[in-house]
Structure 1
Amino acid sequence: MIQTRLLDIALREFGLKGPEGASTREIARAAGTAMSSITYHYGGKDGLYLAVADHIAARMAEEMGPVLDTRTSPVTGDPVVARAHIHAALSRFVDKMASDRNSDWSLFLIREQMRPTQAFDRIYGGVMGQMLDMLADLICVTAGVADRRMARIVTITLIGQVVTLRAQRATCLRLLERDEIGDDDLVLLKARIAANIDAILDRLRAEQQGLS
């Protein structure tokens, strides 16, 4: 489908060059369509950029949606189940961040992290924001945290160790002395991250019990 191809090419161009450097003429040419199709479907470069953000949000929903579908509501108050869901969500997230498959939209996202626009609002408003809210809810249950702000701070620490696999990919590969993250590296990384998750949650729970 020409629109999907157009969005995929626009995603790559915007990720590599940013909205200022990307050329809609080149995007249309690479997609095998006329410039007028961008104007017709998206109104121009700004509209195409926002459409790419929606495209990323849809892909993220497709890949991370199963994590949300298997969520147990924090209302159950079961810390063991809540912890298991935290591990499941972050394990799946590690798989996505370690893979080269999502490199195009990762570049786009890194740009939006540094200089957020309306595009970031659209991406965060999708499965990204839902997953982060879910993690904060599950942290509250797992560690007995009543302070929602504290749960959000802990969420940042948990996802930070995973995001670095993408945001600092060249550094990670150089440190591992690899050209790519192999299956054996991935097993060790996931085990270490899982241990870190437990250590953070155990410490947080002990702190909360000390406050009560």
Structure 2
Amino acid sequence: MVQQRLLDIAVDAFGKHGLEGASTREIAAAAGTAMSSITYHYGGKEGLYLAAADHISSKMAEGMSPALLVEVADGDAVGARQAVHGMLDALFDKMMAQQTESWSLFIVREQMRPTAAFARLFDGPMGRMMRKLIRFICLATGIEEDEDARITGLMLFGQVLVLRSARASALRLFEIDTIDDTLAQRIRARIHANTNAILDALTAEAKETR
């Protein structure tokens, strides 16, 4: 589908060159379509940029839906902890996928210099995931859903995101060209261990304050 290909190419171009640096003429040519199709469907370059952000959100949601649909009853600390791990595992799988490389460039640009597109990214699966993660952290540990809970959610989220945002550093550190399945599973296990340690510490802190 031409429109799908156009958006994939736009995400890649905007990620590499930014809104100002990307050429809609080159994007259209690479997608095998006319410049007029960008104007017709998106109203121009800015509209295409926003559509690219929506496209990333849609792609991120694919495969994440089961984790995003999980619900945990109040008082179910064990279920909440499992839900935390399930959500981080789903994010881990996304971050390890090759297709997320172009998305990451786009998202990092928006993190550094947010535009109207950032709201579309955050209000999509990214924001929903973070909010549910924070709720699950609170249910798993007994802490209040306050600033400390949000900090914890951000830190747990970040230990997975680093696999994509700092991928070059990781490869250089391990002196490898790619992360194979064996190393990926060791990283996943460490994320699980780190997460359990953090949740255990928060649970202990919550008990001390009661």
TM-score between both structures, scaled by the size of structure 1:
0.96
CA–CA distance in 2 between the matches of 1:36 and 1:205?
58
- What is residue 19 of structure 2 aligned with on the other side? 19
Partner of 1:181, secondary structure, is: coil
CA–CA distance in 2 between the matches of 1:183 and 1:105?
22
Partner of 2:99, secondary structure, is: helix
- What is residue 66 of structure 1 aligned with on the other side? 66
Equivalent residues of 1:136, 1:148 under 8 A apart: no
Question: For residues 77-128 of structure 1, what are the alpha-carbon distances to aligned partners after superposition, in whole Å with 9 as ceiling and x for unaligned?
Answer: 2000000010111112112112222111111011111111111100111111
Question: For residues 6-43 of structure 1, what are the alpha-carbon distances to aligned partners after superposition, in whole Å with 9 as ceiling and x for unaligned?
Answer: 11111111011111110001111111111111111111
What amino acid is the match of 1:50? Answer: L
CA–CA distance in 2 between the matches of 1:86 and 1:2?
38
CA–CA distance in 1 between the matches of 2:138 and 2:146?
7
Partner of 2:33, secondary structure, is: coil
Q: From 148, 160, 163, give the equivalent of 2:161.
A: 163
- What is residue 4 of structure 1 aligned with on the other side? 4
Superposed, which structure 2 residues align to 1:34-183 within 5 Å?
34-69=34-69, 71-73=70-72, 75-183=73-181
CA–CA distance in 2 between the matches of 1:147 and 1:125?
19
Equivalent residues of 1:72, 1:81 under 8 A apart: no
What amino acid is the match of 1:72? Answer: E
TM-score between both structures, scaled by the size of structure 2:
0.97
CA–CA distance in 1 between the matches of 2:133 and 2:163?
19
* Root-mean-square deviation (Å): 1.0
CA–CA distance in 1 between the matches of 2:159 and 2:67?
19
Partner of 2:177, secondary structure, is: coil
Report how far residue 172 of structure 1 moved. Answer: 0.4
CA–CA distance in 1 between the matches of 2:46 and 2:93?
32
What amino acid is the match of 2:51? Answer: A
Question: For residues 131-163 of structure 1, what are the alpha-carbon distances to aligned partners after superposition, in whole Å with 9 as ceiling and x for unaligned?
Answer: 100000001100101242221110011111111
Equivalent residues of 2:135, 2:145 under 8 A apart: no
What amino acid is the match of 1:39? Answer: T
CA–CA distance in 2 between the matches of 1:68 and 1:147?
19
